[in-house]
Amino acid sequence: MYLPYLRGKQNELLALVELINNSLLSSKIVPIIEPVNLSNSTTNYLNKIIKDNRICLIHNPKVGDLVNETIDEKFIDILNNKNTIVGHIKNRKSKDEINKLTKNIENKSLIIIDTENKIEQYYDYLRNISQKNQNKIILKDSFNKEKRNSDYSESEEYFSKTHLEYKKNGYMGFSDYSVIGRTFNKSGWLPYAVVIHIVFFDKDSNLKIRHFISDSNNDNKNTKMKFFEACKKLKKWSIYNNAQTLGVKEIINYYDNNHYPGLGVIKKLSIMNHLELMGRYLDKV
């Protein structure tokens, strides 16, 4: 089972919605979503996703607009949905928060996100929630984020082989931050360079990543031109490597139609490529 860790930004949720609409989100993929707001569009997207698909929704987000906010009724309804697993980010107040959670939320499924590897101290609390409390999922940040887009290498890089090893290492599933990385940025800015991050499998089923970077990177003007420069490289590579996911095809379609969709859409399509590939792999093994 693969549990990609996504923040609830619009284009990250839209990546899931678009995969679902095209029947490309494998049932072996359960996204972990840390919501950064509870706008009407966010709740609408979440409800579309959980209609026929499972998610893990974090009730105590640590980034975005919901930090330390009280959970409202529409959020509780989503948390209580039969297709929702409640997610909890471990912190100094976790014992009290988990006790309160079990009293206020009917949903008894729980995933604790522990970045310090000290989950064992919570077993007594978790036994009241689930009989599978000792099942573990490994979470890694496989994306090597650079400070500047122009700093990425254009050569292929190793991304991950956790999908090949998680079972023999005793895990029931694996998780990563897709092609975004763990670091959260609330809003974007005009970049000096445009980069398109595309993961792919090598001949041994290891995940690799390519960064397709624009050429005119001396200033932050003409982002559209920068996109076309990066996409020209992606198109050439995709033909040679037969990269035929919906995400890649849609990026190239924008290029062929001389249309710049915006940086958020590029991120959405890069996520879609990653999740579609992982779904294909998991459905075969």
> For 23-82, what is each residue's pLDDT tens digit?
999 999 999 999 988 889 999 999 999 999 999 999 989 888 888 776 678 888 999 999
Q: For residue 60, how many other CB atoms are within 10 A of its CB?
A: 22
* Within-domain flag for 166: no
Average pLDDT, the chain: 90
Residue 129, pLDDT > 50, answer no
* Within-domain flag for 170: no
Do 108 and 221 belong to one domain? Answer: no
Q: For residue 209, how many other CB atoms are within 10 A of its CB?
A: 21
Number of domains comprising the chain: 2
Domain containing 203: what range?
Answer: 144-160+181-285
Do 100 and 27 belong to one domain? Answer: yes
The pLDDT confidence band at residue 131, using thresholds 50, 70 and 90, is: very low
Contacts of 187 (CB under 8 A, 6+ apart): none
Predicted confidence (pLDDT) per residue in 206-260, tens digit = 999 999 999 999 999 999 999 999 999 999 999 999 889 999 999 999 999 999 9
Do 156 and 121 belong to one domain? Answer: no
CA atoms of 246 and 277, how far apart (whole Å) = 10
Q: For residue 14, how many other CB atoms are within 10 A of its CB?
A: 20
CA atoms of 107 and 115, how far apart (whole Å) = 24
* Within-domain flag for 169: no
* Within-domain flag for 172: no
* Within-domain flag for 219: yes
Residue 120, pLDDT > 80, answer no
Do 107 and 241 belong to one domain? Answer: no
Q: Which of 6, 68, 9 is nearest to 187 (CA)?
A: 9
* Within-domain flag for 153: yes
Of 55-64, 66-75, 162-171, 180-189, the one with minimum mean pLDDT is 66-75
Do 121 and 150 belong to one domain? Answer: no
* Within-domain flag for 167: no
* Within-domain flag for 175: no
Burial 143-168, CB ≥16 within 10 A → b, else e: beeeeebbebeeeeeebbebbeebee
The answer to whether the predicted template modeling score (pTM) of the entire model surpasses 0.85 is yes
